[in-house]
Copies of this chain bind each other. A is one copy, B any other.
Amino acid sequence: MSENKLTSQATDFSAWYIEAIQKADLMDYAPVRGCIIFKPEGYELWERIQAGLDQRFKATGHRNAYFPMLIPESFLQKEKEHVEGFNPEMPWVTEAGGEKLEERLALRPTSETMIGHMYSRWIQSYRDLPVLLNQWANVFRWEKRTLPFLRTSEFLWQEGHTAHADEVEAREETMRMLETYAEFAANEMAIPMWTGQKTPSERFAGAVDTYSIEGMMKDGKALQAGTSHFLGQNFAKAFDIEFLDRDNVRKHVYTTSWGVSTRLIGALVMVHGDDKGIALPPKLAPTQVIMIPIGPPKLRAKVMEKFSLVHQELKAANIRVRTDEREETPGWKFNEWEMRGVPLRLELGPRDVDSNQCVLVRRDTGEKMSVSLQGLSDTVQDLLTAIQASMYERACEFRSLHSHLHIDTLEQLKAHIAEAEASNRLAGWVLGGWCGDDDCEGRVREETKFTSRNIPFAPPLHKEKCLACGENATHSVWMARAY
């Protein structure tokens, strides 16, 4: 942590990202292809994300379970689209206990097949439905290009898997969990998400309909941050998940699945970070307040007594506070903790002690203020609330600023992108009309590298013509370059 300067976001966003997550001590590269270590500062973000989501899953009637990580190859073969989608990405166990296995076992890329197999054993009657399970687990996708948190060979996630007696209920579940993700992202991560439906070409392998939450990163690119799938009866038919209904007829269930992953850590960094480093929303920050003593060593004793009292007071108020009493200059420490994204810095020097004050500095705005030590924990709590709200507002404003609603043709889109590149501005997102034809979507992708993100439920504007072919549009689609 000796070199306290980052590449600026404007110079090279990718370089900034890699430097920022390392200097914030969130991760390290692992000695296994495409894998990372989640270091304590990074893992604690995941623990807080887990806690917030787990509470929401349980409040909506779900329970956690754990299924085996190894999936027999024959299971994956049962749903044709599914295996085609995941096959190229899977690592295989072929030997165990000193012997060659008769059947290869895949390291799970997702668990629809394993869970589908078990549901076919557990579900017999309408009385057994709905089944509402979730699993927190590690998963594997051996992808060509990897990027810490966003795309790694092994990552951590949750996968919800539910089974229902009818389509309406399964579709409600699909939407409920999508909205749960969006609400969590807004209220805890301070990230506004567009909820909407993926186009057929971007659908989950084996799903009838896939829905996503999509967030805008600081480089204007999109990040698919979570998905919720209505699987219809595809997996029910592949795995014989049948039940005897009230009308005494055997039927296939309808299933859903939905997931978010450690990718969300990458979203936090790319949405809130700036040239000083990462910036964490108070609700998820492992450390909410960093306390730094100020002033010459000879006056330190006087400061430290008060310092320790203030520390105790904030701790007692359940504020996640940490002190930095190392032998480094205050300036060095300021940089360091800004780099690590701590929402609030508290400075206390000899003069502050005399006047019963301290200095607070906001990470998000840089605003510096002297406040009384009287009632300090309330002041700090209020400020943390204000920072959380303000980070969300800024992310919303940023998204608005870089969302383009009045680009109606592919030519206009190309011109927009060229202009952005020439003037070093962000191309951002474009809401385009779409006729529903895969070819039109493909043409946009090939000619601009803009991909369909999702078809928002509430687009800010309804488009009348397809951006690519000019025919009548059936949908308005967010298009952007994406991770």
Contact = CB atoms under 8 A, between A and B. Distances in A.
A86 B92 CA distance: 20
A36 to B, nearest CB: 8
A90 B99 CA distance: 10
Majority-rule SS of A interface residues:
mixed
A154 interface: yes
B37 A118 contact: yes
A285 to B, nearest CB: 15
Nearest to A122: B28
Nearest to A30: B68
A105 interface: yes
Of A92, A114, A121, A137, most buried by chain B (CB within 10 Å of CB) is A92
* From A93, A95, A107, A154, residue with most partner B Cβ within 10 Å: A93
Nearest to A121: B28
B97 A31 contact: no
Interface string A431-444: 00000000000000
Given A90-B96, A93-B92, A94-B94, A118 B70 contact: no
A193 to B, nearest CB: 25
Interface stretch (A40-48, A330-338, A361-369, A413-421): A40-48
A92 B95 contact: yes
A143 B96 CA distance: 10
Interface in A26-73: 28, 30-32, 35-40, 43-44, 46-47, 63-72
Interface of A: 28, 30-32, 35-40, 43-44, 46-47, 63-72, 75, 87-98, 104-105, 107, 114, 117-118, 121-122, 133, 137-138, 142-144, 153-154, 156
26 contacts: A28-B118, A28-B122, A30-B68, A31-B75, A31-B114, A35-B68, A36-B68, A37-B65, A37-B66, A37-B67, A38-B66, A38-B67, A39-B65, A40-B64, A40-B65, A43-B63, A43-B66, A46-B66, A69-B138, A70-B154, A91-B97, A92-B94, A94-B95, A97-B142, A97-B143, A137-B138
Given A37-B65, A44-B64, 15 more contacts: A28-B118, A31-B114, A32-B71, A35-B70, A37-B68, A38-B67, A69-B154, A70-B154, A88-B98, A89-B97, A90-B96, A90-B97, A95-B104, A97-B143, A97-B144
